[in-house]
Amino acid sequence: MAEERTGEAFEEGVRLTVVGHKLNVGDPAPDFAMDCLDAGAAFPHTVTLADSAGGARLLNVVNSLDTPVCHVETCRWQALVDEAAPGARIYTVSMDLPFAQLRWRTAEGIRHDALSSHRSERFGKDYGVLLKEWRLLQRAVFVIDADGRIAHAEYVADQMKEPDYDAALRALAAAADAQPA
């Protein structure tokens, strides 16, 4: 049975239970397999962590792209990552259906991939971000280095707050700089 953590996530007066073990800097990043729908495609394809091996990656984990804070955060990451670490990969992860993610990305001009964990709670449990009561993901940011290790992990407790962009960008820039040429 997966670990359950209480008191580590909330929205206004609602206390939430987070399922899964928290990841720390230096931990191996758990592999994942999630759906991604590209513009013009009829069906989603699977994206795994191994697909971007050898490079720096940022996982922007959100509750749902159709909520105001998640919307602002995802748009901001697009602009910041392009500027701070041009070679890094960015993925926004939610339990939204891939069709809804593509609709939102297209409407907002978001170029980075959105990964959908709608089929399984595995990503949420493996990364320690599954919100039990909502069956959504806790707001979090992970930077994964070229060796597949966690270089930065931020679990945002207040679901109405944005993450610490500067701390994640510093970790992403360091991970991108450490990549083999």
Q: Residue 107: which domain range? A: 22-177
Segment 137-153, tens digit of pLDDT:
999 999 999 999 999 99
Does the predicted TM-score (pTM) go above 0.75?
yes
Res 181: pLDDT:
52
Domain CATH code at residue 114: 3.40.30.10
Asked whether residue 104 is domain-assigned, the answer is yes
Residue 15 lies in a domain: no
Burial class (CB in 10 A: 0-12, 13-18, 19+), 144: buried
Residue 141 lies in a domain: yes
10 within domain boundaries = no
Summarize pLDDT for 14-29 with one digit per residue, the tens.
999 999 999 999 999 9
Choosing from 70, 90, 102, 168, the catalytic residue is 70
Average pLDDT, the chain: 95
Phi and psi angles of residue 155, each rounded to the nearest 5 degrees, phi first: -105, 115
Q: In the structure, what pLDDT confidence band is assigned to residue 180 with cuts at 50, 70 and 90?
A: low
Could you give the number of structural domains in the chain?
A: 1
The pLDDT of 98-118, averaged and rounded, is 96
- Residue 52 to residues 25, 43, 130, 139: CA-CA distances in angstroms? 19, 21, 23, 22
In the residue annotation, 70 being an active-site residue is answered as yes
Instruction: Find the mean pLDDT for residues 80-97.
Output: 88
Quote the pLDDT of residue 87: 81
140, 156 contact by CB (below 8 A): yes
